């Protein structure tokens, strides 16, 4: 089944150009089926790009999805038109009493700040607490993964001497876990961050387990004991040219940046980047939707946590 997303969302046309089937709200309403209800708290600066990246992966599922995009009330996006935010995003207050099968919280370009100095930290804390009783399964990505681990379990983040930037090889702790159905023994994940979480801190929390990691980029995926919160430090949702865009942006700003690892052929930025993570990305999101959301969530969301 396709993703049911708001009419006129720019991602619709972009995905159709990639031959990805999406369904507008009017057509979806004609189907006699309960779609999975997803909330996406999009904290990334380029909202439209992130919307498209996530919907591309969510659409690779036989399940029908109904998506609400959520925004932080106390934060104004500088890189996305106000009209877009008004048309397609909801304030948390408007969905506070709703319940969702799944939720995605994205990364954010604020990792240089201590969590408590982020201007919207209190609102984000409120949303993360709310998700534990109103969302069946939550997927935290990059900075959001660090924020969620810190808020819920006290796991700290640490600054890196140099940016973790590139595409890194990962292995899994147990290939029989549902989240890794169809994965190869090794898989690649893009990373773009200035901070890290450490294995030793996670191992000190009995309710957390490390699911995948890399010898170069460290811990990648962590799950809570109930399996309802997944924390991913990398960016499997990135499209082919995202790291390239970030690299050229930093160069143009004269920021210290190295060529992303394992990305360009022969480390030559004049050549198109090699996308090594597409299959793992599609598998991860489809496995999450199927095994951690659809197979587990109550059919009637009113039953959630009653």
Which residues have a catalytic role annotated?
142, 235, 237
The pair of structure tokens assigned to 37 is 């209800």
Q: Which residues are paired to 189 by β-bridges?
A: 168
CB 301 within 8 A of CB 101: yes
For residues 54-89, b (16+ Cβ closer than 10 Å) or e, as one string? bbbbbbebebbbbbbbbbbeeeebeebeeebbeebb
Q: Choose among 39, 68, 34, 66: nearest CA to 303.
A: 34
CA-CA-CA-CA dihedral for 42, 43, 45, 46, to nearest 10: -10
- Cα–Cα distance measured from residue 90 to residue 67, given in angstroms and rounded to the nearest whole number: 11
- Cα–Cα distance measured from residue 234 to residue 224, given in angstroms and rounded to the nearest whole number: 17
- Cα–Cα distance measured from residue 202 to residue 195, given in angstroms and rounded to the nearest whole number: 15
Please provide the distance, in angstroms rounded to a whole number, between the alpha carbons at the two ends of the chain.
29
Burial of 225 (0-12, 13-18, 19+ CB in 10 A): exposed
Strands (E), 182-252: 186-196, 208-214, 218-224, 229-232
């Amino acid at each position: 089944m396709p993703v049911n997303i708001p009419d006129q969302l720019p991602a619709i046309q972009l995905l159709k150009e990639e031959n990805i089937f999406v369904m507008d709200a009017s057509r979806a309403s004609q189907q006699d089926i309960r779609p999975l209800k997803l909330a996406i708290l999009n904290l990334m600066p380029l909202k439209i790009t992130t919307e498209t990246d996530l919907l591309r992966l969510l659409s690779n599922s036989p399940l029908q999805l109904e998506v609400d995009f959520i925004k932080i009330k106390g934060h104004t996006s500088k890189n996305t038109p106000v009209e877009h935010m008004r048309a397609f995003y909801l304030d948390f207050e408007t969905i506070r009493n709703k319940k969702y099968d799944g939720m995605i919280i994205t990364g954010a370009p604020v990792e240089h700040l201590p969590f408590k100095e982020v201007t919207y930290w209190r609102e984000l804390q409120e949303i993360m607490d709310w998700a534990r009783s109103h969302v069946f399964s939550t997927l935290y990505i990059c900075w959001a993964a660090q924020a969620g681990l810190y808020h819920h379990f006290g796991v700290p983040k640490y600054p890196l001497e140099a940016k973790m930037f590139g595409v890194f090889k990962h292995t899994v702790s147990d290939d029989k876990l549902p989240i890794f159905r169809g994965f190869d023994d090794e898989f690649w994940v893009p990373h773009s961050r200035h901070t890290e979480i450490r294995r030793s801190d996670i191992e000190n929390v009995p309710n957390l387990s490390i699911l995948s990691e890399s010898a170069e980029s460290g811990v990648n995926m962590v799950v809570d004991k109930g399996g309802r919160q997944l924390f991913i430090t990398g960016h499997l949702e990135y499209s082919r040219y995202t790291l390239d865009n970030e690299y050229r942006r930093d160069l143009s700003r004269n920021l210290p940046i190295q060529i992303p690892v394992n990305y360009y052929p022969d480390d030559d930025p004049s050549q198109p980047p090699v996308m090594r993570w597409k299959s793992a990305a599609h598998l991860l999101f489809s496995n999450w939707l199927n095994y951690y959301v659809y197979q587990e969530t109550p059919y009637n969301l009113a039953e959630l946590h009653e």
